[in-house]
Amino acid sequence: MSKPFKRILLTGAAGGLGRLLRDRIKPWADIVRLSDLADVGPAGEGEEVVQCDLADKAAVLALMEGVDAVLHFGGISTEAPFDAIMQANILGMANLYEAIHKCGVKRVVFASSNHTMGFYKTTDLVDADMPPRPDGMYGVSKVFGESLSRYYYDRFGIETVCLRIGSCFPEPANPRMMITYLSADDLVEALRCSLFAARVGHTIAFGVSDNKAKWWDDRKSRHLGFVAKDSSTQFEHKFPDSGNYAPADDITITFQGGGFLLTGPQYN
């Protein structure tokens, strides 16, 4: 029996989330095309491997051939010197959507980030229509990507879900991640909903599990049908209650971006 898509492209396949997704997305397409600048290992069954620098426009155009849908997890996923971010996340994004447009791809999931909003306070509730408040050059590059994909939807009808991913790790490494935790299963379900909803237009959604504390109000993306099943509550014992409040001038506790707030931008 044929699968929903003929070919899905997964960029950033060598990254942390890329490796996590590689097997999980196989049910969705006859062929999963895996791409990264780094080595993703040999192609398995139902896989194609294409090493590709997103900053190389011709290579990206070739990469897109025959693709039905794109899961864009490529690029740089942390604070870095701006030149690198610009090549990977800005030029790479522009090349990607040019290729998507030329090849007639209809649906994209863009791995955006909560760091587009990292300068909201930890006492704020953020939703998809509030102005961006990036917490570094990485976050700024993700705002660029959301804005670029908005344009491609408004002008050419290319549908994108910008998934502002929280903290997708096996378990929370600090109290902040109790709030931003996204389980692997919930990530996969969010992607599944984003790919198979009948219409998504240009949707900005928050990729986060059903944790007790919330910073993000995701009701504007409930048309996707994503309902988180997991919660960070199971890890509560790791972070016992404490009355040792962080100092008032510790911006990593005051603003949502956490540690990212201190790193960027990196001047060289």
Strand partners, 161: 109, 203
CB count within 10 Å of CB 4 equals 14
Task: Reply yes or no on whether 138 is catalytic.
Answer: yes
Nearer to a copy of itself, 6 or 23 (CB): 6
Q: What is the DSSP letter of 68?
A: S
Nearest CA-CA partner of 167 in 116, 208, 198, 120:
208
Element containing residue 153 per DSSP (H, E) = helix 137-156
Smallest distance, a copy of itself to C-beta of residue 41, A: 26
Taken in order 22, 156, 99, 203, the sign of the CA dihedral is negative
| Lookup: tokens for 117 | 């909003």
Three-state DSSP state, 59: helix
Q: Which is nearer to a copy of itself, 54 or 91 (CB)?
A: 91
Cβ-based nearer residue to a copy of itself, 18 or 118: 118
Question: How far is 256 from 236, CA to CA, in rounded Å?
Answer: 19
Sign of CA dihedral 140, 145, 146, 152: positive
Cβ–Cβ < 8 Å for 217, 177: no
- Is the CB of 24 or the CB of 220 nearer to a copy of itself? 220
Give the nearest distance from C-beta 137 to a copy of itself in angstroms. Answer: 7
Cβ proximity to a copy of itself, 42 vs 243, nearer residue? 243
Q: Identify the burial level of 102 via C-beta atoms within 10 angstroms of its C-beta, where 0-12 means exposed, 13-18 middle and 19 or more buried.
A: exposed
Shortest gap between Cβ of 37 and a copy of itself (angstroms)? 19
Q: Name the minimum Å distance from CB 265 to a copy of itself.
A: 7
The two structure tokens encoding residue 169? 């790790």
Between CA 142 and CA 131 the distance in angstroms is 13
Q: Supply the minimum distance, in Å, between the C-beta of residue 18 and a copy of itself.
A: 21
List 138, 151, 152, 267, catalytic entry: 138
CB of 114 to a copy of itself, least distance (A): 14
Query: DSSP label at 222?
Result: G
Looking at beta carbons only, is 19 or 217 nearer to a copy of itself? 217
The rounded distance, in Å, linking the Cα atoms of 31 and 45 is 8
- Catalytic annotation, residues: 138
